[in-house]
Amino acid sequence: MNFFQSLSRPMRLAGVALLGIAVIAGVIGVVTALSGGESSQTAAPSPTASASGTSQAPGTSASSPTTTTPPPASSAPATTGAPPASPGPQGGAPTAPNGGVPADQAAAKWVPVRVYNNSTITGLAARAAQDFRGDGWNVAETANYPYGIIPTTTAYYTPGTDEETAAKALAADFGMKAEPRFEGIQNSSAGVIVIVTNDYRGLQSKGS
């Protein structure tokens, strides 16, 4: 009689049950070991790797354009200024590019202008003074000129002074003559003296 046969029936059943439990536990252990080994050998993909293998910052697109560095300031084209004034006829003052009065004449508007009425039109000096001011001229005085008859509206100046430059520019703007002062106004106050007569027409169209 062997060992198992010597045991009672309940003891044999208990031994078989323990043996079955041991076999099942061994099978579970082997399966767990195999599955754990396989999972440890699988590498997790990098969350930041792109399809091309390059990494990029969160929130940026692979198709975003590359920032272009602006060219240095030295490469910018030079600013083109106004064309130089061309010499006037007979070596006179330079003529403005648009065919108007020379630039130095336009800058002479600060010279005082005195307007005298020598016409039969009441208030003509005041009207002319308003026209001159509207064109930027410095009108200092308006009055009448009763000391003779002036044949045409004229701007008078003292030769060789700023009055000459201003008188010629004013005459060009308003279609009048520009002449040196005559004897009767030689000692009058400084500035351009404009004596308006019945032929005064006001501001002329510039460039015509």
Q: Is pLDDT larger for residue 199 or for residue 74?
A: 199
83 band by pLDDT with thresholds 50, 70 and 90:
very low
In whole numbers, what is the pLDDT of the chain averaged over residues? Answer: 72
First-residue to last-residue Cα distance in the chain:
146
Question: Rg of the Cα trace of the chain?
Answer: 54
Q: Answer whether 161's CB lies under 8 Å from 186's CB.
A: no
Q: 162 is written with which tokens?
A: 């700023």
Across the range 9-38, mean pLDDT stands at 71
What SS3 class is residue 199? coil
Least confident of 24-38, 106-120, 155-169: 24-38
pLDDT of residue 54: 42
pLDDT of residue 36: 60
97-113: pLDDT as tens digits: 334 445 566 678 999 99
Across the range 44-53, mean pLDDT stands at 43
pLDDT at 96 over 80: no
Which candidate, 168, 189, 166, places its Cα nearest to that of 116? 189
pLDDT at 81 over 50: no
Q: Is pLDDT larger for residue 80 or for residue 169?
A: 169
Q: Is pLDDT larger for residue 2 or for residue 89?
A: 2
CA 158/CA 169 separation, integer angstroms: 14
φ/ψ of residue 179, rounded to 5? -140, 160
pTM over 0.85: no
Q: Answer whether 194's CB lies under 8 Å from 153's CB.
A: yes
Q: Which residues contact 204 (CB under 8 A, 6 or more apart)?
A: 173, 174, 175
Q: Answer whether 182's CB lies under 8 Å from 102's CB.
A: no
